[in-house]
């Protein structure tokens, strides 16, 4: 027997998982250099923080900026460092071909990037590293993904290139309330446990994993350079997003913000019970709305409301070229 919610669930099939991750950085030029050159991601959009237009907003991703590949930064030249703690995303993990882990280790050594020796997690080989602001990242070796699309316009060889997100790791006091929201509303299900970590996965190949690191009583996180601001999850369209908002309210007593137009997607935000700021972002319209696919990231793009202030905005943004 069909229930009214079955339709929304079906629409979400194949559209679950992480849409993007947004973090805070220090110097813009250093951030751009690390993500495009060292990690070989594509700068898919260069715009400003719509709520603070004197600050850049950089979007890095694959060649089209597909949902599940996008890491974004607000770089503040003089940002104070944040502190990792409860209620934060403590690691953002990318997918790379399993066969490339040794080459990545060598690359990080050669370029002087701080990193750990590869370790096994949930049966996968994972290489953890830090960006110049101390942001914790990792590369997970995934077998058989060599043929998947990747940006190869940078200096990272195609056989090594990042294939979107593997997932994120959240630090929470108690895993159950966060897992409830991920399971009931965002299309995830628990698949494994290892030590203090609960793994939840969705059906998305890219950006399909959320690991909950259950820490009990521990210091709360503090926002700042080197920390993640929020994690966005995918909604196929406005209707799917509205259904998720309704479910958050009815089943979990959680209220989201009103919908905000982010030009490349439409978003609502809420703080999940573990304290992490979550967003639900639509897949549409995507990054090709104001730039041709081959030109993504090449010009400073401003939303219509800020375009008339372009001269003043450009004057205060730090030079990055």
In the complex with Zn ion, the residue whose CB is nearer, 232 or 268, is 232
Minimum distance, C-beta of residue 2 to Zn ion, in the bound complex (Å): 34
Q: How many CB atoms lie within 10 A of CB 91?
A: 20
In the complex with Zn ion, the residue whose CB is nearer, 126 or 236, is 236
Task: Say if residues 126 and 118 touch (Cβ distance below 8 Å).
Answer: yes
Minimum distance, C-beta of residue 269 to Zn ion, in the bound complex (Å): 8
Minimum distance, C-beta of residue 231 to Zn ion, in the bound complex (Å): 8
Minimum distance, C-beta of residue 147 to Zn ion, in the bound complex (Å): 30
Q: Give dist(CA 231, CA 92) in Å, integer.
A: 10
The contact pattern for Zn ion, residues 13-32, with x = CB under 5 A and - = no contact, is ---------x----------
Structure tokens at 103: 């080459």
# residues near Zn ion by CB under 5 A: 3
In the complex with Zn ion, the residue whose CB is nearer, 61 or 118, is 61
One residue of 232, 240, 244, 276 binding Zn ion per CB under 5 A: 232
- Reduced to 3 states (helix: H, G, I; strand: E, B; else coil), residue 304 is helix
In the complex with Zn ion, the residue whose CB is nearer, 41 or 161, is 41
In the complex with Zn ion, the residue whose CB is nearer, 22 or 282, is 22
What is the three-state SS of 254-278?
Answer: CCCCCCEECCCCEEEEEECCCCCEE
Q: How far is CA 193 from CA 115, 146, 201, in A?
A: 25, 28, 12
The contact pattern for Zn ion, residues 262-291, with x = CB under 5 A and - = no contact, is -----------------x------------
Q: How far is CA 78 from CA 81, 133, 220, 221, 241, in A?
A: 9, 11, 23, 19, 36
Q: Give dist(CA 126, CA 115) in Å, integer.
A: 11
Minimum distance, C-beta of residue 253 to Zn ion, in the bound complex (Å): 23
In the complex with Zn ion, the residue whose CB is nearer, 45 or 107, is 45
Query: Which residues bind to Zn ion, rule: CB under 5 A?
Result: 22, 232, 279
């Amino acid at each position: 027997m069909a229930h009214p919610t079955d339709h929304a669930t079906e629409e979400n099939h194949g559209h679950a998982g992480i849409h993007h991750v947004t973090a805070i950085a220090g110097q813009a030029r250093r951030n751009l250099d690390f993500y495009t050159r060292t990690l070989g991601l594509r700068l898919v959009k260069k715009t400003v923080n719509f709520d603070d237009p004197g600050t850049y907003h950089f979007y890095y991703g694959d060649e089209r900026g597909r949902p599940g590949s996008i890491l974004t930064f607000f770089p503040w030249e003089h940002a104070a460092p944040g502190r990792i703690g409860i209620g934060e995303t403590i690691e953002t993990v990318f997918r790379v071909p399993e066969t490339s882990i040794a080459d990545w280790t060598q690359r990080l050594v050669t370029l002087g990037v701080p990193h750990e020796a590869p370790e096994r997690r949930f049966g996968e080989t994972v290489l953890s590293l830090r960006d110049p602001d101390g942001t914790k990242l990792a590369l997970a070796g995934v077998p058989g993904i060599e043929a998947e699309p990747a940006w190869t316009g940078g200096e990272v060889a195609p056989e090594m290139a990042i294939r979107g997100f593997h997932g994120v790791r959240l630090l929470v006091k108690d895993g159950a309330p966060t897992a409830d929201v991920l399971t009931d509303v965002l299309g995830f299900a628990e698949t494994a446990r290892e030590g203090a970590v609960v793994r939840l996965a969705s059906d998305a190949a890219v950006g399909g994993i959320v690991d909950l690191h259950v820490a009990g009583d521990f210091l709360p996180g503090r926002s700042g350079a080197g920390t993640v601001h929020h994690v966005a999850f995918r909604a196929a369209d406005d209707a799917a997003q509205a259904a998720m908002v309704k479910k958050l309210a009815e089943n979990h007593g959680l209220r989201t913000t009103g919908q905000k137009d982010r030009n490349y997607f439409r978003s609502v935000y809420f703080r999940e019970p573990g304290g992490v700021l979550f967003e639900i972002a639509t897949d549409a319209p995507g990054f090709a709305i104001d730039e041709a696919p081959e030109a993504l990231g090449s010009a400073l793009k401003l939303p219509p409301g800020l375009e008339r202030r372009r001269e003043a905005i450009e004057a205060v943004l730090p030079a990055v070229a």
